[in-house]
Chains A and B, each alone.
Chain A
Amino acid sequence: QKEVEQDPGPLSVPEGAIVSLNCTYSNSAFQYFMWYRQYSRKGPELLMYTYSSGNKEDGRFTAQVDKSSKYISLFIRDSQPSDSATYLCAMSGAGSYQLTFGKGTKLSVIP
């Protein structure tokens, strides 16, 4: 079992839909949870991060972490065609510089 599991998709939704992206993990030492967005032929860019369990909201994006279930989510409200990208979850332990990434979910938002 990989440390981080993420459904690769692809996921296709109509513009304006609510998108839910998820990752599960097995390493209980993970405390920092991040979501990166990667456009085609570009490097990943940090979208959101959270520490331990809880929710964090930033505009149309909400990140949720449930450490008891080892499950993290990213919700995108009112999705736009410009949200079409691959979304990568990443996580690390306390004081660790090394991130463990999921494989990424490819999202297409259709106008």
Chain B
Amino acid sequence: GAGVSQSPSNKVTEKGKDVELRCDPISGHTALYWYRQSLGQGLEFLIYFQGNSAPDKSGLPSDRFSAERTGGSVSTLTIQRTQQEDSAVYLCASSWTGTDPLNYGYTFGSGTRLTVV
């Protein structure tokens, strides 16, 4: 596609429910990232996928968060037993490679705005 596509654009869920957020990266981009943007906070790194390598999950805030990337393309971020503090905008980005920021550019999707009530 022309850009990074994320769905849904908005999600309201009840506390304790599980949610799945989807990211469809730019075709051909091998690197995929998930970031979280909370109100009044900067973007917080969550997870990084590069090709077939094991993902870097070091940014996931708890074991309630998980992500997978199927076939090197679409990625799903899953949050189990959602809590109110999970409310944020979840942003996905992709790039050609994961090294040397000057030789690649992150392209962000518009994000999924998650509200836990």
Chain A contacts to B: CB under 8 angstroms: 4, 6, 8, 32, 34, 41-46, 49, 51, 88, 90, 92, 95-104
Contacts and interface: CB of A to CB of B under 8 A. Distances in A.
A19 B35 CA distance: 28
Contact of A43 (B42, B56, B102, B110): B110
B50 interface: yes
Q: Which 5 A-B pairs have the closest CB atoms?
A: A43-B108, A97-B98, A101-B42, A101-B43, A103-B42
Nearest to B106: A46
B108 A95 contact: no
Contacts of A41: 110-111, 113
A49 B42 contact: no
A15 to B, nearest CB: 27
Contact of B43 (A8, A42, A46, A88): A88
A97 B45 CA distance: 10
A32 B108 contact: no
A43 B91 CA distance: 7
Given A98-B45, A104-B42, A43 B93 contact: yes
Given A32-B101, A43-B93, A99 B40 contact: no
A8 B98 contact: no
Contacts of A32: 101-102
Given A43-B4, A44-B108, A92-B101, A98 B40 contact: no
Contacts of A95: 99-100
Nearest to B45: A98
A66 B71 CA distance: 42
A103 B109 CA distance: 18
Contacts of B91: 43-44
B110 A34 contact: no
Contact of B108 (A6, A45, A98): A45
A21 B93 CA distance: 24
A4 B52 CA distance: 31
A97 B50 contact: yes
B79 interface: no
13 contacts: A4-B42, A34-B101, A43-B4, A46-B105, A49-B102, A88-B42, A90-B43, A96-B101, A97-B56, A99-B43, A99-B45, A99-B106, A103-B40
